[in-house]
Structure 1
């Protein structure tokens, strides 16, 4: 966290980003892109701005409670929120023009009261606290607290171009400090506020920014050179590129998605990474899946989900989402699992994954699928909990097709 206050101009930038997220409903990454575009800010100052913005969003209801404002008032009363944030972290107040004051006696009283309310202290909205308690029981308080912490910064060494140790040495020469991550052989944790995407190592495709938990999901696919592999919900392709590295560029790797712009981004990333065996294909209709029936050695289904395991990294989601969205997502997951599993050939492996920590999206979905599809057998699964690993939260399950039907 910060050791000295934000400048007035940086404080205004934080307010502008928060306004876009909370008033205009923009995703946090787009709000950053819009407000940082064209500004020549030093990497360290960018890191300070994103640190404050992220922390405010992770515990938005707490900070709003302490200064007695509503999130919807952020554009008008953002300076008061920023002052409260600085008081909470025992920093001098930022020098903002026309800043709204905070009554420090009232702040101290509200702070004492907030410490007696665990969900509020962890920045958890009521709807999420209810779901978490119902789904995870005694595990939930630790997960709720872990999701309020800032995320660490991880990268994946691209083994098509360099080993993890070679990447670490190269980044050291570019003044980027990293540590190896125990239990994730491809991962490095970035320990400095470096401009990663400006390094020569990034531009030459030696690494991708990817959470260590996400790297465990791709590793579970265990793709081998020469295989036919399908990443059927590829998105922008972080896991696709990891799988391509497993395959050493040999074999056929088909990345599929329903949105063409994501696949276009993936193509650019694949070129930079030297992943020449990646082929992209838009899912235009169910016929796209039917044509691939019983053809794949491996199929990864990283399905759309609530994202409740990655709230450290995407804290704006919990102020945008509602509990009504979860059943809709679960029905979509069920449909994808049933339909896309047809691509797995006999003896092939199906990997189901989410970035959620909720059993209804995870093991419960897998159990229901297996009950309806006896031609698949369960191999194993892994629950990557935020409180236990320090990574983002993920779930993965591996199943083998034992017969055609």
Structure 2
């Protein structure tokens, strides 16, 4: 960090970036891209601007408090005062004569900075609505996850094994002087520890890797795919998990990647071409018929449903300053509808995986419990939550198996038997059937 006050140019640039994000609802990554396309900065200077803006938005309640506002929405309306607070935080001389800052008191700002040390939600950049929801859903665990979500995210890439091995890619990274660490507990994951611009490398252009969080990389293997299968990725988006599935299938078989937004599927097609994932078909969900036509057609179905994104707030921290609690409740209805209807694409004996980038039980375990009560032809194999405190982003995944006709009949027989009080007799019959099958 600099040991001096920011220049007038940098202050104007930061103000412009914040204004566009705060008032025009443009995602932060797009705001950065728009500004840095127009303004050429040295990499070190650009990195400084990004770090300062990221910290200010990530802890907007903290900087608003230092600036004299108790609510982040009030701080958003006084961007230059936030910039003054940024100087106080970094112990830089506060700039003079900034517009609308005549009443900014550096003395009072320093006092409020000391007061903020004793307020955890300010230290960790946690809005009140999120703190209430997180505590309600996760109990004491929330304190740990709240701290983790305030930290800078690590960068991970996934080796595209359709083109290279991890050993080969590591050699290329070393030759390119890109700092990295191999993830011992995941076959294809590598953590990038330096600041290299990965997307400008020839390795990326050649499709040798995809940028993907280590937690996200756990979802595709959960499907237990095999080469030659027919797999449906029903909420594919831009296809990060779709490409991973293709690599696990060694490019053999068929993956039907679906989404209700065709522009996302276009991005997926471009990524698939670069990755050499030629077993991917895309289908736009423009009517319910698209789903119905695939009834009981897929060996594997992945439902990576729309969610609150509470597990990925390390990266998408600009989304947390609006109270989304009501939106999340509406999302749970959408999730329930998707799993009810889309699950029917799973073959008898096939596997369905439901996943989110949320850590809230209301979107995860509760959804699975409700679904299984309504659909007796599915049984839970395993479910798992990957928490942000474990190093990467937060995700949930549940693997369910759809019973075959014979298994379903046996299950129904057991259920009827319980009602009739003849459970021992039916259990014995099922035991004999299973023994006969094994012989």
TM-score by length of 2: 0.86
Residue 214 of structure 1 aligns with which residue?
Answer: 216
Distance of 1:97 and 1:213 partners within structure 2: 47
Residue 32 of structure 1 aligns with which residue?
Answer: 32
Residue 294 of structure 1 aligns with which residue?
Answer: 296
Describe the superposition over 1:131-186 as per-residue Cα deviations: whole angstroms up to 9, x where unpaired: 01110110011111111111111111111111222212212222221111232221
- After the TM superposition, which residues 76-155 of structure 1 pair with which residues of structure 2 at under 5 Å, given as runs? 77-90=78-91, 92-93=92-93, 98=98, 100=101, 103-155=105-157
Describe the superposition over 1:182-234 as per-residue Cα deviations: whole angstroms up to 9, x where unpaired: 32221111111111110000111111111111111122123211111111000
Is the 8 Å Cα contact of residues 88 and 94 (structure 2) preserved in structure 1?
Answer: no
- After the TM superposition, which residues 372-383 of structure 1 pair with which residues of structure 2 at under 5 Å, given as runs? 372-383=374-385
Distance of 2:90 and 2:115 partners within structure 1: 17
Is the 8 Å Cα contact of residues 22 and 72 (structure 1) preserved in structure 2?
Answer: no
SS in 2 for 1:212: coil
Number of matched pairs: 402
Residues 118 and 95 (structure 1), Cα distance of their counterparts in 2 relative to 1, 3 Å cut: closer
Residues 76 and 286 (structure 1), Cα distance of their counterparts in 2 relative to 1, 3 Å cut: closer
How far did 1:258 drift? Answer: 0.1
Consecutive unaligned residues in structure 1, runs of 5 or more: none
Is the 8 Å Cα contact of residues 64 and 75 (structure 2) preserved in structure 1?
Answer: no
Residue 394 of structure 2 aligns with which residue?
Answer: 393
Q: Whose radius of gyration is greater, 1 or 2?
A: 2
1:68 aligns with 2:80: no
Residues 80 and 277 (structure 1), Cα distance of their counterparts in 2 relative to 1, 3 Å cut: same
Describe the superposition over 1:327-354 as per-residue Cα deviations: whole angstroms up to 9, x where unpaired: 1100000000010000111111111000
TM-score by length of 1: 0.93
Is the 8 Å Cα contact of residues 257 and 263 (structure 1) preserved in structure 2?
Answer: yes
Residue 16 of structure 1 aligns with which residue?
Answer: 16
- After the TM superposition, which residues 303-314 of structure 1 pair with which residues of structure 2 at under 5 Å, given as runs? 303-314=305-316
Is the 8 Å Cα contact of residues 204 and 273 (structure 1) preserved in structure 2?
Answer: yes
Distance of 1:245 and 1:94 partners within structure 2: 53
How far did 1:319 drift? Answer: 1.4
How far did 1:56 drift? Answer: 1.5
Distance of 1:95 and 1:103 partners within structure 2: 12
How far did 1:74 drift? Answer: 6.4
Is the 8 Å Cα contact of residues 79 and 96 (structure 1) preserved in structure 2?
Answer: no
